[in-house]
Amino acid sequence: MMFKNVFGSGFIVRTAHVILTWVITLILFLHDTDLRKQEERGELIQPVLFVLLVLVSVLLYFAVSLMDPGFVLSDGSDLQFTLGITEETQDMIPPTTKSLRQRRCGHCLLQQPMRSKHCQTCQHCVRRYDHHCPWIENCVGERNHRWFVLYLAVQLLVLLWGLHMAWSGFTTAPTWQLWLRGNGVLLGTAAVVAVLSLTVLLLLGSHLYLVSLNTTTWEFMSRHRISYLKHCGADENPFDRGALRNLWGFFCGWGAIVWEQVYFREGNDPI
């Protein structure tokens, strides 16, 4: 199932996000910003583009929030069949000095594919688990991670544009009291947008950095406790194929990857 129930536990979070987004947009149009001035002059290109970009960000938010992040819903044998991996294919994996014990989740009782982790909030194991994001009230994993990064990029563009528009709407006044009375709402809006911009910028930067290394937030923070990483050197990442190939595979690659094969390749070309 690609999408989860819209009216699940994240309904309040998603509703609050959408309301905040459109309230900020409305404030930018109601005050004397460049958006409103262009609208009054009949110059509709930028106002329409801004609204469309806000709409795209909201749609991406819902897509990432409601999308199946890569839940492990069947045992390892069924998953291998789904990915087209037969016993004959498994026998082709080259011998290696690395050892790895197959893990079975203590909660789902399902065999965990490599790079999977059980999420206590979602009550599922998630393939290529990155983290559980309370902002979208969903896990970020194999199936929605790239869309999450795309959402962050679009959201950052919207926020920076909105911050610029808010700045353009401030008016002058003879005293601070009068200035705050005339610009108080816009000042509060600009402060909220500035904080959100910084947050999204840090999130986007950290995710792009981790993606360029082909590692996840969970692996980066907890590698000393992860069975397939804790025996590797401090600078060794068995999934790293170089920054460009990592980024290309993340954004342009489609289909599930058998990480066990990448892990055991020992210098061979990844399968």
- Give catalytic residue positions: 133
Q: What is the DSSP letter of 85?
A: -
Residue type, 92: M
Residue type, 52: L
Instruction: Name beta bridge partners: 3.
Output: 67
Cα separation of 134 and 18, whole Å? 15
Residue with tokens 């194929």: 241
Q: How many helices (H) and strands (E) does the chain have?
A: 10, 4
CA 248 to chain centroid: 17
Residue type, 38: Q
Instruction: Name beta bridge partners: 124.
Output: 119
